[in-house]
Structure 1
Amino acid sequence: MKRPALALGLALLLGLGLSACQEETTAAKPAPVAMTLAATGYYCQMTALDHDGPKAQIHLKGNPHPLWFTQVRDAVAFTLSPEEPKDYVAVYVSDMGKAESWENPGEANWIDAETAWFVIGSRKTGGMGAPEVIPFGSENGAEGFVAEQGGNIVRLSEIPEAYVLGSVVSKDQSGSEAMTMVEASQ
């Protein structure tokens, strides 16, 4: 009689332990936060809503407030830069397939960067004027964008480090090309 009770007790204990591990894993990834006027770009310290194009938010372990990025490019650079912390638990990006427009990417249409499809090398530039990493919740959405704006479709792990950490050639007001550093690579 004692053995079945002991086995049942052990099974319950193990089950509770597994349940606690599963809850801990689920709890470790916070939900995305809707962007408000208080969302300030991590690198530029400007209001994220004041810039066109997709945005990003990165959640660090133990911090209830996300880091905001006025360009998705800068958030990807953050994850790749050896100088930045690596204790992030979630990276969310604007789903441009659900955006009202380039000028209004939306405050609450976030997708997990790990599951997103990204367009790089298109004719569109991000909120700070640098080439952008443009996220979509579906491959079809990314394909439609590429048909209109050019570029290549990649997954997060396929974004070249040089694309987000390298210098950028831009045109100044006179139309002359100038080499500039992107905020995330400074």
Structure 2
Amino acid sequence: MCNHHRCISRRRFLAAAAASGLLAACGQSSTDGGALVPVEIDRGTACALDGMLLADYPGPKAQIHYQGRAEPDFFCDTVEMFSIYLNPEQVRAVRGLFVQDMGKANWDAPVGHWIDARGAWYVVGSKRLGSMGPTIGAFAQETDAKKFAEEFGGKVMRFADVTPDMVVLDGGALHDQRM
């Protein structure tokens, strides 16, 4: 049943199913069924959208935990996470979203420092690049986001203020440095 959202297309369904199978084959450790916690990436963790290895690229990574699935979908870029989450075809119940706090993680080789994506501060339109080019920096603290924006440009926003037109996967609004 699709509720108020449009049904997912066959192609997107097959791509998501294939990505889910790839992630399961990667041997990611699952949570113990207790409190929802982020899963750390390793050298073999692949992006749910394109199979890129997350550890090979700079910038904040993301993960979405879905109801009924032990393993999250990983994304090599926050733009990808937002695009999937904000997509009107999204029909799976989301249990949690996590991003890396770039106020603490090394931009060029981020490891750890996972935070709840919905409570984070974001910098949209900066000059810093992620795996797919322009990306959205994620921060636990507003002061870190403002400092980053002062140094690299961009606009500081909350999770709820990020809109679908800001996360077009072909680059769209992210290439607009006027923000």
Could you say which TM-score interval applies, normalised by the shorter chain? 0.7 to 0.9
The 3 A distance-change label for structure 1 pair 118 and 28 is farther
1:156 aligns with 2:162: no
Task: Indicate the residue corresponding to 1:71 in structure 2.
Answer: 77
Task: Indicate the residue corresponding to 2:130 in structure 1.
Answer: 126
CA contact (8 A) 1:29 1:90 kept: no
Q: Which runs of 4+ in 1 moved over 4 A?
A: none
1:92 aligns with 2:95: no
User: How many residues of Structure 1 are paired with residues of Structure 2 in the alignment?
Assistant: 141
* Unmatched 5+ stretches in structure 1: 1-26, 170-186
CA contact (8 A) 1:58 1:67 kept: yes
The 3 A distance-change label for structure 1 pair 157 and 29 is farther
Looking at structure 2, the residues matched to 29 and 89 of structure 1 have their Cα atoms a distance apart, in angstroms, of 11
Task: Give the aligned CA root-mean-square deviation in angstroms.
Answer: 1.8
State the TM-score, normalizing by the size of structure 1.
Answer: 0.71
Looking at structure 2, the residues matched to 45 and 84 of structure 1 have their Cα atoms a distance apart, in angstroms, of 20
Looking at structure 2, the residues matched to 91 and 134 of structure 1 have their Cα atoms a distance apart, in angstroms, of 15
Task: Indicate the residue corresponding to 2:143 in structure 1.
Answer: 140
Task: Indicate the residue corresponding to 1:104 in structure 2.
Answer: 109
SS of residue matched to 1:157: helix
CA contact (8 A) 1:29 1:89 kept: no
SS of residue matched to 2:79: helix
Q: Deviations over 1:65-93 (max 9, x none)?
A: 11000000100101011233331100000
If you compute each CA radius of gyration, which structure gives the higher value, 1 or 2?
A: 1
State the TM-score, normalizing by the size of structure 2.
Answer: 0.73
CA contact (8 A) 1:39 1:47 kept: yes
Looking at structure 2, the residues matched to 35 and 166 of structure 1 have their Cα atoms a distance apart, in angstroms, of 22
* Unmatched 5+ stretches in structure 2: 1-32, 173-179
The 3 A distance-change label for structure 1 pair 77 and 29 is farther
Give, as a single letter, the amino acid of the residue that structure 2 aligns with 1:132: T
Looking at structure 2, the residues matched to 71 and 30 of structure 1 have their Cα atoms a distance apart, in angstroms, of 21
Give, as a single letter, the amino acid of the residue that structure 1 aligns with 2:130: G
